[in-house]
């Protein structure tokens, strides 16, 4: 499990580099507060000069210790694949199937995994993380 978590962190680095807006402080962004409490930012409230949150309190910028970013979705992964693997052949199906060609016969032989379209990157199966690691992190 630790190996998957390490791979996940490295994948996130590549994806955030490809799409820095993941780390912007806006609706849906997760933050760590002064008291080590994690929460999700909602809408900006100009009356209180703070954000609404999923913990029920208004959050002021001074209370935010660290910006953790919003959850990474398939669209973010696709942006990273496009930037890292330009001009290479990959299969991305509307059903979440991600196919990577094998050197045996890149036109017909693929390694595949299925991205669960209802979940973000943190909640994908280990085989998805393994394939994304091979695709985005490992040197080719």
Contact 85, 135 (CB under 8 A): yes
Q: pLDDT by residue (tens digit) across 73-106?
A: 999 999 998 888 776 777 778 888 887 776 666 5
Stretch 60-69: mean pLDDT: 91
Least confident of 43-47, 67-71, 102-106: 102-106
Q: How far is residue 113's CA from residue 136's CA, in Å, rounded to a whole number?
A: 15
């Amino acid at each position: 499990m630790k190996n998957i978590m390490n791979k996940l962190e490295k994948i996130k680095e590549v994806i955030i580099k490809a799409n820095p807006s993941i780390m912007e402080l806006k609706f849906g962004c997760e933050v760590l507060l002064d008291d080590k409490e994690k929460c999700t930012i909602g809408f900006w409230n100009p009356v209180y000069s703070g954000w609404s949150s999923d913990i029920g309190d208004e959050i002021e910028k001074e209370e935010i210790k660290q910006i953790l970013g919003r959850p990474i979705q398939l669209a973010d992964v696709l942006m990273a694949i496009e930037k890292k693997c330009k001009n290479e052949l990959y299969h991305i199906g509307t059903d979440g199937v991600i196919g990577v060609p094998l050197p045996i016969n890149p036109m017909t032989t693929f390694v595949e995994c299925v991205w669960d379209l209802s979940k973000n990157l943190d909640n994908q199966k280990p085989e998805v993380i393994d394939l994304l690691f091979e695709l985005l992190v490992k040197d080719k």
